[in-house]
Amino acid sequence: MAIARPVRALGLAAIVMWCFFLWNMFSPSAPIRKPNDFNGVFERDPNLDPTGEPEGVLVRTSEDYAPGMKASARINATLLALVRNEELEGMLSAMDDLERTWNHKFNYPWTFFNEVPFTEEFKKKTQAKTKAECRYELIPRAHWDMPSWINKDLYEESAKVLLKNDVQYADKLSYHQMCRWNSGMFYKHPAIADMQYYWRVEPNVHFFCDVDYDVFRYMQDNNKTYGFTINLYDSPATVPTLWPETLKFIAEHPEYVHENNAMDWLTDKVRRPEHNRKAGGYSTCHFWSNFEIADLKFWRSKAYEDYFNHLDRAGGFFYERWGDAPVHSVALGLFEDASRIHWFRDIGYQHIPFFNCPNSKKCKGCVTGKLTDGESFLYKEDCRPNWFKYVGMN
């Protein structure tokens, strides 16, 4: 009898707990959890990694939050495109893909930038591609024009030398202006002053995979600063003094270099020693920034602003052909915690001639693991193996 009383008490407690569980599950106020709902509950697809890593993509779900902690609200973010009126058809194609695979579920606004006013045709046709708000912004001349300290004669002579070295677009002033604007000006535009994140989209790019979670929320909830899909070697002829200038800068500001940096990735000389030699110690590895999902706070930080201003005064955006991709990549590799840089392996993407094509049933129109549909020698341009070697796979 002495044993029976605790047993009956334990049984009563179990019944009470079971009733509470049923009430909690079927109460009208209980949340209905669906994998693709807009409440922070996402799927884990074990087949998303083209390299064959078995654990797939880790994305945060409601269960990942501490008790009582909720998923974040809608993120202050935009899809961002620098595009000309004459690139309308290519922009519409890119919008078709991204709206179909992702944005029709979340309706983030589009922000279009141009150095000249957009035509009514451009506005009408782009707005027709999305239910989201479209914003059409003019770049201030002060942000676009060649700065006053650049010697025009030296620029023209430098362009001739670059052309002899087979540097593409070396004689196109607008290309140099674009690289400088994407490096250090776009985030200063008043139109995105209140934005925290952006997803850069260019004309004629393609997206192949259904993405069922809010990538901006993923960035925020997982404390990520920058997201990429493709990681390549750059042409050393475009950046011969970028790394030497960078070394000058960090010698003056060692306090900006993060203790968990990606210096080894930036300076590797094993896989492509000739690149390292020609670029003054820089591997030329960089995130291909025609795709980037990023936290604007990094570009607006004092470390990056000081770095950009140093590079801008050095003149390499015009005397050489420094692109925003190596500039962004070097800054991230030095001044940011490498663990906050994320490979979006699950986003199928193409910018001619390179692909990121995951192994997933959610992807259509690309070949799993294929880097390029161009010449076979282009495969050696892939710098992701170096990133995985020195930093990891997120």
Residues taking part in catalysis: 292
> Residue 155 and residue 319: Cα distance in Å, rounded?
5
Q: Which two tokens stand for residue 287?
A: 């995130």
Contact 48, 77 (CB under 8 A): no
Scored b (16 or more CB within 10 A) or e, 197-229 reads bbbbbbbebbbbbbbbbbbbbbbbbeebbbbbb
State whether the Cα torsion 183-189-194-198 is positive or negative: negative
- How many CA within 13 A on the CB side of residue 312? 21
- Cα–Cα distance between 77 and 110 in angstroms, integer? 9
Q: Cα angle vertex 181, ends 122, 268, to 5°?
A: 125
* Phi/psi of residue 244, nearest 5 degrees: -55, -40
Whether the CB-CB separation of 282 and 234 falls below 8 Å is answered with no
Query: Distance between CA 139 and CA 80 in Å, rounded?
Result: 13
Give which of 97, 93, 339, 108 is closest to 214, Cα–Cα. 108
